[in-house]
């Protein structure tokens, strides 16, 4: 495999804006459009599902068989940690809280060879170390301990995982446990509501959504997942144990790749279900998330490198500067006939390197802010959300994947005479 990995070329683009009644078109130059399908594609086996997205905007840069449901194995732990992070965010749990391991939790994964932290029954470990063991060492016992703490028991936690998936807009996922082992391998913690040999399943698209949600909730989690090793401490005995990162692509890992600083996120591999990997890296200020599922055993690292290299070698980012984005939408009943809107953050758009044709985007006014005639309803205060900006020719993870635009100033309802005159003329 050619391990060259060039950076996307930097080119300047001029932004033109045309304001219409219901939409704003953002244009990037003129020329012939190159479709992504015409580019050289990653060399991956036919049975491998794959996806690459922008971590911030959720724009899909590449996808192959992304909606096929497959066993996710230890990728399940991303959802487990997401729910733990939610509890921490709500101050219902803290990183330093200590959890005592039960005999049932200590038995998880002992029927077969699986990744474990070999937690001792009756001993205590911090939430932080259990999260580190789950994400870095892919420890099944640690994930089950976390799930039982958050959910109360393993069955309730599985329900929480499925409910959270639905809240994310995911409809194809089925979680039976916190760790991703087949149900029968959980020994004393089998889910009675699932078949004995049931496995956690979801699509590549769904795993991309969960990964994006996790990073959005806690970007600092990458400080943990980027390490080649993670050390956990038994709070009962004071003894420490070093766990090796199952993601061999991180810096210092066995398959670290020159030019790609991969700093996460989660492996999901079994002898029966081949290799899965959710990975992430940042270049030139843009972070991407890649997902490969169903790679032949041991090839998920190479497939990930191929996919990331494909993205950076064939695509470039165009930045829509928040300071230069000064546009208007029509006001339905305001003092001013148009309302200026703005972005609070820069927006990155991924396009093929040879693509120089216009890229259209639309500002859609939020339903609760829109009158029957289609304009914005006054009164509205500065900084309040007005609607969303989405590029028409780009695919996004779900319908909620768009950028919010905000009112650049306040507006109040116009007087009766003014509104009559506008309606008349």
Residue 253 C-beta-side C-alpha neighbours within 13 Å: 26
Q: Note the pLDDT tens digit of each residue in 332-379.
A: 888 888 999 999 988 888 998 887 655 677 888 988 999 888 899 999
Please indicate, yes or no, whether residues 248 and 333 belong to a single structural domain of this protein.
Answer: no
Please indicate, yes or no, whether residues 245 and 354 belong to a single structural domain of this protein.
Answer: no
- C-alpha distance from residue 83 to each of 90, 108, 158, 161, 241 (Å): 11, 20, 11, 8, 25
pLDDT number for residue 14 = 26
Nearest one of 400, 402, 396 to 66, comparing CA atoms: 396
pLDDT category of residue 43 using cuts at 50, 70 and 90: low
- Beta-carbon contacts of residue 337 (< 8 Å; ≥ 6 apart): 330, 331, 422
Q: Note the pLDDT tens digit of each residue in 150-186.
A: 999 999 999 999 999 999 999 999 999 999 999 999 8
Residue that has been written with the tokens 């044709």 in this structure: 357
126 within a domain of the structure (yes/no): yes
323 within a domain of the structure (yes/no): yes
Query: The domain spanning residue 402 has which CATH number?
Result: 2.60.410.10
Please indicate, yes or no, whether residues 327 and 410 belong to a single structural domain of this protein.
Answer: yes
pLDDT category of residue 23 using cuts at 50, 70 and 90: very low
Average pLDDT over residues 208-213: 98
Please indicate, yes or no, whether residues 212 and 290 belong to a single structural domain of this protein.
Answer: yes
**Domain end: 245, 263, 295, which one?**
295
pLDDT category of residue 20 using cuts at 50, 70 and 90: very low
Beta carbons of 138 and 179 less than 8 angstroms apart: no
pLDDT number for residue 399 = 61
Please indicate, yes or no, whether residues 332 and 394 belong to a single structural domain of this protein.
Answer: yes
More confident residue, 281 or 320: 281
Nearest one of 390, 385, 386 to 403, comparing CA atoms: 390
CA dist 281 and 264 (Å) reads 7
Lowest mean pLDDT, pick from 125-129, 169-173, 214-218, 331-335:
331-335
Q: Note the pLDDT tens digit of each residue in 67-110.
A: 999 999 999 999 999 999 999 999 999 999 999 999 999 999 88
pLDDT number for residue 312 = 94
Tokens describing residue 308 = 């990331």
CA dist 44 and 60 (Å) reads 18
Please indicate, yes or no, whether residues 28 and 120 belong to a single structural domain of this protein.
Answer: no
Please indicate, yes or no, whether residues 182 and 289 belong to a single structural domain of this protein.
Answer: yes
More confident residue, 2 or 395: 395
CA dist 362 and 24 (Å) reads 5
pLDDT number for residue 319 = 83
CA dist 26 and 320 (Å) reads 9
pLDDT category of residue 258 using cuts at 50, 70 and 90: confident
Residue 111 C-beta-side C-alpha neighbours within 13 Å: 12
State the pTM of this model. 0.83
DSSP state for residue 21 in the 8-state scheme: S
pLDDT category of residue 9 using cuts at 50, 70 and 90: very low
Residue 13 has pLDDT above 50, yes or no: no
Query: The domain spanning residue 169 has which CATH number?
Result: 3.40.710.10
- Beta-carbon contacts of residue 378 (< 8 Å; ≥ 6 apart): 331, 332, 333, 334, 335, 411, 412, 413, 414
pLDDT number for residue 1 = 42
Q: Which domain range does residue 234 map to?
A: 49-295
Please indicate, yes or no, whether residues 184 and 288 belong to a single structural domain of this protein.
Answer: yes
| CA quadruple 246, 250, 253, 257: dihedral sign | positive
Please indicate, yes or no, whether residues 270 and 364 belong to a single structural domain of this protein.
Answer: no
Domain count for the chain? 2
**Is 67 in a helix, a strand, or coil?**
coil
Residue that has been written with the tokens 């959890």 in this structure: 99
Helical (H) or strand (E) element with 274:
strand 274-283
**Domain end: 295, 329, 344, which one?**
295
Task: Tell me what percent of the chain is helix, strand and coil, each rounded to the nearest 5.
Answer: 25, 30, 45
248 within a domain of the structure (yes/no): yes
10 within a domain of the structure (yes/no): no
- C-alpha distance from residue 211 to each of 165, 190, 257, 299 (Å): 12, 26, 21, 21
Peptide bond into 379 cis (omega under 30): yes
As a whole-number percent, the residues of the chain with pLDDT over 90 amount to 65
Residue 232 has pLDDT above 90, yes or no: yes
pLDDT number for residue 325 = 86
Please indicate, yes or no, whether residues 136 and 270 belong to a single structural domain of this protein.
Answer: yes
Lowest mean pLDDT, pick from 134-143, 291-300, 345-354:
345-354
DSSP secondary structure, 132-158, as one string: HHHHTS--HHHHHHHHHHHHSSHHHHH
**Domain end: 241, 262, 295, which one?**
295
Average pLDDT over residues 201-217: 97
What phi, psi does 118 have (nearest 5°)?
50, 50
Nearest one of 389, 418, 410 to 59, comparing CA atoms: 389
58 within a domain of the structure (yes/no): yes
β-strand partners of 87: none
pLDDT number for residue 425 = 56
CA dist 142 and 146 (Å) reads 6
263 within a domain of the structure (yes/no): yes
- In degrees, rounded to 5, the angle at the alpha carbon of residue 259 between the alpha carbons of residues 254 and 263 is 60
Peptide bond into 292 cis (omega under 30): no
What phi, psi does 188 have (nearest 5°)?
-90, 0
Please indicate, yes or no, whether residues 55 and 191 belong to a single structural domain of this protein.
Answer: yes
Please indicate, yes or no, whether residues 399 and 273 belong to a single structural domain of this protein.
Answer: no
287 within a domain of the structure (yes/no): yes
194 within a domain of the structure (yes/no): yes
Nearest one of 395, 263, 357, 284 to 8, comparing CA atoms: 284
């Amino acid at each position: 495999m050619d391990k060259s990995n060039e950076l996307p070329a930097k080119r300047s683009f001029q932004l033109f804006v045309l304001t219409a009644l219901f939409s704003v078109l953002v244009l990037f130059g003129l020329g012939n459009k190159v479709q992504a399908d015409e580019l050289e594609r990653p060399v991956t086996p036919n049975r491998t599902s794959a996806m690459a997205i922008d971590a911030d905007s959720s724009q899909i840069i590449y996808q192959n068989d992304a909606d096929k449901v497959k066993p996710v194995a230890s990728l399940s732990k991303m959802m487990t940690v997401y729910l733990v992070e939610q509890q921490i965010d709500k101050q219902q749990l803290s990183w330093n809280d200590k959890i005592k391991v039960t005999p049932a939790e200590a038995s998880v994964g002992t029927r077969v060879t699986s990744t474990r932290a070999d937690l001792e029954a009756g001993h205590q470990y911090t939430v932080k170390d259990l999260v580190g063991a789950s994400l870095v060492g892919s420890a099944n016992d640690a994930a089950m301990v976390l799930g039982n703490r958050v959910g109360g028991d393993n069955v309730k936690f599985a329900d929480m995982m499925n409910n959270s998936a639905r809240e994310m807009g995911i409809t194809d996922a089925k979680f039976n446990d916190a760790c991703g082992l087949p149900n029968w391998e959980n020994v004393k913690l089998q889910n009675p509501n699932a078949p004995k040999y049931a496995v956690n399943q979801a699509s590549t698209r769904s795993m991309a959504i969960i990964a994006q949600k996790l990073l959005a909730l806690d970007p600092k989690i990458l400080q943990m997942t980027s390490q080649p090793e993670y050390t956990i401490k038994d709070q009962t005995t004071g003894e420490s144990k070093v766990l090796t990162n199952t993601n061999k692509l991180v810096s210092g890992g066995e398959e670290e790749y020159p030019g790609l600083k991969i700093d996460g996120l989660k492996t999901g591999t079994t002898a029966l279900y081949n290799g899965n990997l959710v990975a992430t890296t940042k270049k030139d200020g843009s972070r991407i998330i890649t997902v490969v599922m169903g790679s032949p055993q041991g090839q998920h690292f190479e497939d990930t490198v191929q996919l990331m290299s494909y993205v950076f070698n064939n695509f470039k980012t165009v930045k829509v500067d928040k300071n230069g984005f000064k546009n208007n939408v029509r006001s339905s009943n305001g003092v001013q006939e148009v309302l200026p809107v703005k972005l609070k953050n820069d927006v990155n758009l991924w396009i093929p390197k040879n693509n120089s044709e216009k890229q259209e985007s639309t500002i859609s006014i939020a339903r609760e802010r829109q009158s029957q005639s289609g304009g914005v309803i006054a009164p509205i205060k500065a900084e309040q959300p007005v609607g969303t900006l989405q590029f028409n020719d780009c695919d996004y993870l779900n319908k909620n994947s768009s950028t919010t635009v905000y009112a650049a100033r306040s507006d109040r309802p116009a007087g009766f005479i003014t509104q009559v005159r506008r309606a008349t003329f």
